[in-house]
Structure 1
Amino acid sequence: MATLLVDDVVPFEDWPSAARASLAFLHRTVGLDVWVVTEVREPLQVVLHSHPSEVLPPGSSISWDRSFCHSMVSGEGPRVATVAAATPAYRDLETGLPHKVAAYIGVPLVTREGTLFGTLCGLSVRAQPRTLVRFLPVVEMTARMLSTMLPADAAAQRDATSPASAIRVRAT
């Protein structure tokens, strides 16, 4: 009997592992400076996972109402902005990065009940070509898979990442 080679497609151990692998995949495939999975804990948007993590460390947070993702989720801004300065909804918003964001792509993470959990987004300090939009279906499918996995693990994920000492509000 032949040995099956399946090591590269073994299921993820848990939701955080899947989230981290998704961010690394998007960074390799789409590019951009940083990819982030966040949770909305009003009044904050908290970074749960990021890749590369040193760019925007997990535990960092910004004001939810002043974030790119809030504008995207509320329908005020598009899911893809290749030149954020030319997108009225994104011109003066926060990201938690030390530099102004020039390009953005983001999609909501939603529970089975249809409530907003957080977001999956990519940020760049350089404007991007209009062809960035071709990656939106990949980002949407990744977000949908993470959302699908979320319900079984959401409470554990919140508990594992919610110590108040781990949350840092970043000034822009």
Structure 2
Amino acid sequence: MATHRGIGDVAPWQDFATAAHGALEFLHQQLGWDLWALTRVVGDRQVVLHAHPAGPLPPGASLPWEESFCRLMVTGEAPRAATVVAAVPEYAARRLGPAAPVAAYIGVPLVTVDGRLYGTLCGFGWRARPRSATRDLPQVEMVARVLSTLMAAGMTPPDPPPGPDLWA
């Protein structure tokens, strides 16, 4: 028997923060991966705006952009999807912080309307993922493009709160 839910569950998000949370929750439910994050590059830092599930990466947490998985992905030095980080030399020595080894990574840039880097949408696995998980990349790219489009249409992400330095 079909379920009739009306339209409330597909109503537009009222702000960027709610849209970002919905996007991260969707990726976590549909694709798995242990942690999803939406970040912003501010100067020489990569700052967490939103993460799902909450906890490991609080909003405002940051790390040096130079040390991040995402910088390597954005510059094209490493792939957008690495189901076994140890098999990708550029990623093999990276960590999410001094105490957080990453075994699998997937990430896509978030881009402003004028084509500049805003930040990233990324997922992390604490264990290696099967090679078939590279098939998740088109969905992550689509969600990143939707979030970039929301920003281009005027939905402004909030400034991140002050947070911990993941490398301190």
Q: TM-score, normalised by structure 2?
A: 0.92
> Does 2:145 align with 1:169?
no
- Alpha-carbon distance, 1:167 to partner: 2.9
For the residues of structure 2 that align with 1:27 and 1:4, how far apart are their CA atoms? 23
- Alpha-carbon distance, 1:66 to partner: 0.8
- Alpha-carbon distance, 1:97 to partner: 7.3
| Alignment coverage as a number of residue pairs | 164
Q: Equivalent residue of 1:107, what SS? A: strand
For the residues of structure 2 that align with 1:94 and 1:112, how far apart are their CA atoms? 31
- Alpha-carbon distance, 1:38 to partner: 0.1
In 1, are the aligned partners of 2:49 and 2:160 still within 8 Å (CA)?
A: no
More helix by share: 1
Q: Equivalent residue of 1:18, what SS? A: helix
Identity among equivalent pairs (%): 48
For the residues of structure 2 that align with 1:91 and 1:148, how far apart are their CA atoms? 32
User: Are the structure 2 counterparts of residues 68 and 6 from structure 1 closer, same or farther at C-alpha, using a change threshold of 3 Å?
Assistant: same
For the residues of structure 1 that align with 2:5 and 2:122, how far apart are their CA atoms? 35
For the residues of structure 1 that align with 2:24 and 2:140, how far apart are their CA atoms? 10
In 2, are the aligned partners of 1:62 and 1:94 still within 8 Å (CA)?
A: no
- Alpha-carbon distance, 1:54 to partner: 0.5
For the residues of structure 1 that align with 2:139 and 2:86, how far apart are their CA atoms? 24
For the residues of structure 2 that align with 1:55 and 1:135, how far apart are their CA atoms? 22
Q: TM-score, normalised by structure 1?
A: 0.90
In 1, are the aligned partners of 2:38 and 2:119 still within 8 Å (CA)?
A: yes
Q: Equivalent residue of 1:161, what SS? A: coil
For the residues of structure 2 that align with 1:96 and 1:20, how far apart are their CA atoms? 23
For the residues of structure 2 that align with 1:89 and 1:4, how far apart are their CA atoms? 47
Structure 1 gaps, min length 5 = none
In 2, are the aligned partners of 1:101 and 1:125 still within 8 Å (CA)?
A: yes
Question: 1:29-108, aligned counterparts within 5 Å?
Answer: 29-96=30-97, 98-108=99-109
For the residues of structure 1 that align with 2:83 and 2:39, how far apart are their CA atoms? 21
For the residues of structure 1 that align with 2:95 and 2:146, how far apart are their CA atoms? 27
- 2:19 maps to a residue whose letter is A
* Deviations, residues 14-55 of structure 1 (Å, cap 9, x unaligned): 111110100000001111110000000021000000001112
- Alpha-carbon distance, 1:4 to partner: 7.9
User: Are the structure 2 counterparts of residues 34 and 4 from structure 1 closer, same or farther at C-alpha, using a change threshold of 3 Å?
Assistant: closer
Aligned to 1:153: 155
In 2, are the aligned partners of 1:55 and 1:97 still within 8 Å (CA)?
A: no
- Alpha-carbon distance, 1:95 to partner: 1.6
For the residues of structure 2 that align with 1:136 and 1:24, how far apart are their CA atoms? 16
- 2:155 maps to a residue whose letter is D
